[in-house]
Amino acid sequence: MSQIVNHLGDHRVNLQVNLQVNLRIKRGAPGDALRFETHDVPFEPGQSVLDALRWVRAHVDPSLAIRYSCINANACKECMMRVDGKTVYACLAKLEAREMVIEPLPNKPLVRDLVTEVAPSDEELFVSSKV
């Protein structure tokens, strides 16, 4: 909920505005027919896309697969996904009070829903150096 304070003469007017985000989330696993599910999420200024996805898991559907470890420290690099066609870290992508399309990375093997195989490049180098 956002609060708008307006001053009209000597009268202070508080308006409570319930803003929402309409998340269109691509879901499914390898071999499934992938589908979009839509969820309305309460909007709070300053929230991230990851905050909204965590809200969906907590309040609507705990089976939604997402991956993250640090929430908003930009340290784990595990929350990478596509938001409105752009590759982002979900914990850094700002939530906006409109429709937002959330998809898994298209160039990585899909695990389920928004989770893809994203091994850090130094781990990939370690694995390939042992071959």
Choosing from 91, 100, 110, 115, the residue that interacts with ligand FES (CB under 6 A) is 91
Question: Of 5 and 73, which CB lies nearer to ligand FES in the complex structure?
Answer: 73
Instruction: Give me the residue whose beta carbon is nearest to ligand FES.
Output: 91
Residues 2-61 that bind ligand FES (CB under 6 A): none
Q: Closest approach of Cβ 103 to ligand FES, in Å?
A: 16
Distance CA 93, CA 103 (A): 13
Choosing from 78, 105, 108, 118, the residue that interacts with ligand FES (CB under 6 A) is 78
Q: Which residues contact 16 (CB under 8 A, 6 or more apart)?
A: 1, 2, 3
- For 26, 49, 78, 105, 117, the CA distances from 113, given in Å and listed in that order, are 6, 15, 14, 10, 12
For ligand FES, the binding residues (CB under 6 A) are: 68-71, 73-79, 89, 91
